[in-house]
Amino acid sequence: MRTQVCIIGGGPAGLLLGQLLHRRGIETILIERKSRDYVLSRIRAGVLERGFVGLMEEAGVAGRLHREGYPHDGVMIGAGAEMFRIDFAKLTGHRVTVYGQTEVTRDLYEAREAAGLPTLHEVDEVALQGLEGASPTVTFLHEGERKTIRCDYVAGCDGFHGPSRQAIPEEKRREVEKVYPFGWLGILSETPPVHEELIYSSSKEGFALCSMRNETLSRYYVQVPMSDRVEDWSDARFWAALRARIPAGAADALVTGPSIEKSIAPLRSFVCETMRWGRLFLCGDAAHIVPPTGAKGLNTAASDVYYLYEALAAACTGDEAALDAYAEKALARVWKTQRFSWWMTQLLHHFPEQTAYDRRVQAAELTFLAESEAAQKALAEQYVGLPY
């Protein structure tokens, strides 16, 4: 098979890139390890920055997002018994849109299928060759047959565990990582959200987050030690922990119910600064991971996609200057979202090694955020999304 851009990975990054390239008349073949149903079964955050919404509009797939997404003009911060609001609309003139990543992925799959773009699912043994040459190849098993795609460029959109980053010689990869000493225990429940906006809450028992998917589907998280297992947490224990970590007004309004999904996710910050190797370009989780505190995973994948699709569109007309600048431009924004995600995590979580002094400083930072419009504007600008 022959194409202009081979996209490895059918998650949000690969699908959005493929749709935007299609709109510029650039051919792609997308290969995905899992079935479409499996990809669509993943439970992932869905707080979309303004830039992400703009890209979905540019890709021509924002119809349902605008019909069913929930515009949020602000977010609540719980600090012990207190709670205050960060007013995105007043401070930045922008908002975020709550729309599950599953729905984003579904819309993109449906658009790709409607355009008849080649998409191969359940591929295996994906390997990349000739990345430093003019015509790289991607080989893989599909439907029991070994197949080869010859292309001009490879987009590595295969997530943290995919083969693309590993295709870069180890000695050439510049990787940095921070592992946090706790995880997030998350549940999905068919209950009305406790508040119309998200509540990020820091209490002496630890961090909690109240989020939602729609008016009858809530998403909640509590910080747990990494040694905890899901089976250690009954629904009753979860609800009690959540109630104890959110301000009383919210705790009193909380509607509990059986969990329909329950899982623990570790928290890590990771960046592979080598986002280009020859004609391979890493995009999204293939290149970087953030703790979910700032809701930046999906959104940083989108900013990579923005830079990469513009560069590939130019390169396919013979101008490779933007491709040469891709890694530097993408990384500049990656590090801003890395810092914001780290800062929100530091601000809101209990760290085992914290001293009494550390906890006083953390409380003072929350008080400053509650009282300072400048501090709230800084948070708001980053939460709604810095410009691309």
Closer Cβ to ligand PHB, 137 or 345, answer by number: 345
The burial of 142, by beta-carbon neighbours within 10 Å (0-12 exposed, 13-18 middle, 19 or more buried), is given as: middle
Q: How far is the CB of 234 from ligand PHB (least distance, A)?
A: 21
Closer Cβ to ligand PHB, 211 or 337, answer by number: 211
294 binds ligand APR (CB under 6 A): no
Q: How far is the CB of 194 from ligand PHB (least distance, A)?
A: 13
Q: How far is the CB of 207 from ligand PHB (least distance, A)?
A: 11
Among positions 17, 295, 315, 347, the unique one binding ligand PHB when judged by CB under 6 A: 295
Q: How far is the CB of 365 from ligand APR (least distance, A)?
A: 26
> What does 10 bind: ligand APR, ligand PHB, none (CB cut-off 5 to 8 Å by kind)?
ligand APR
Among positions 61, 62, 157, 185, the unique one binding ligand APR when judged by CB under 6 A: 157
Backbone angles phi, psi at 50, to 5 degrees: -60, -35
105 binds ligand PHB (CB under 6 A): no
Residue 307: CB atoms within 10 A of its CB come to 24
> Helical H runs in the chain?
12-23, 36-40, 50-58, 63-68, 88-92, 101-114, 235-245, 248-253, 297-315, 321-324, 326-348, 356-371, 373-384
Closer Cβ to ligand APR, 84 or 388, answer by number: 388
Residues 246-285 that bind ligand APR (CB under 6 A): 284-285
Question: Tell me, what amino acid is at 184?
Answer: W
Closer Cβ to ligand PHB, 211 or 303, answer by number: 211
Backbone angles phi, psi at 237, to 5 degrees: -65, -40
51 binds ligand APR (CB under 6 A): no
Among positions 45, 55, 79, 267, the unique one binding ligand PHB when judged by CB under 6 A: 45
Closer Cβ to ligand PHB, 112 or 296, answer by number: 296
Give how many residues touch ligand PHB by CB under 6 A.
10
Active site residue 200: yes
Active site residue 220: no
Distance between CA atoms of residues 167 and 155, nearest Å = 12
Cα distances (Å, whole numbers) of residue 1 to 6, 29, 112, 149, 326: 10, 9, 18, 5, 27
Active site residue 383: yes
Distance between CA atoms of residues 199 and 206, nearest Å = 14
The tokens describing 90, both together, are 């007043």
Closest CA to 301 of 88, 45, 17: 17
Distance between CA atoms of residues 128 and 156, nearest Å = 10
Among positions 105, 191, 201, 293, the unique one binding ligand PHB when judged by CB under 6 A: 293
Options 62-70, 76-84, 293-301, 348-356: segment touching ligand PHB (CB under 6 A): 293-301
Contact predicate 296/337, CB 8 Å: yes
Options 12-20, 82-90, 211-219, 325-333: segment touching ligand APR (CB under 6 A): 12-20
Distance between CA atoms of residues 195 and 363, nearest Å = 24
Distance between CA atoms of residues 285 and 274, nearest Å = 13
Distance between CA atoms of residues 171 and 203, nearest Å = 43
Contact predicate 179/290, CB 8 Å: no
Catalytic residue among 70, 99, 109, 200: 200
Options 20-28, 63-71, 161-169, 203-211: segment touching ligand APR (CB under 6 A): 161-169
Q: How far is the CB of 297 from ligand PHB (least distance, A)?
A: 8
219 binds ligand PHB (CB under 6 A): yes
Collapsed DSSP state (helix, strand, coil) of residue 52: helix
- The residues binding ligand PHB (CB under 6 A) are 45, 47, 198, 209, 211, 219, 292-295
- The residues binding ligand APR (CB under 6 A) are 8-14, 31-34, 39, 44, 101, 123, 126, 157-159, 161-163, 284-285, 297-298, 301
Positions marked active-site: 72, 200, 292, 296, 383
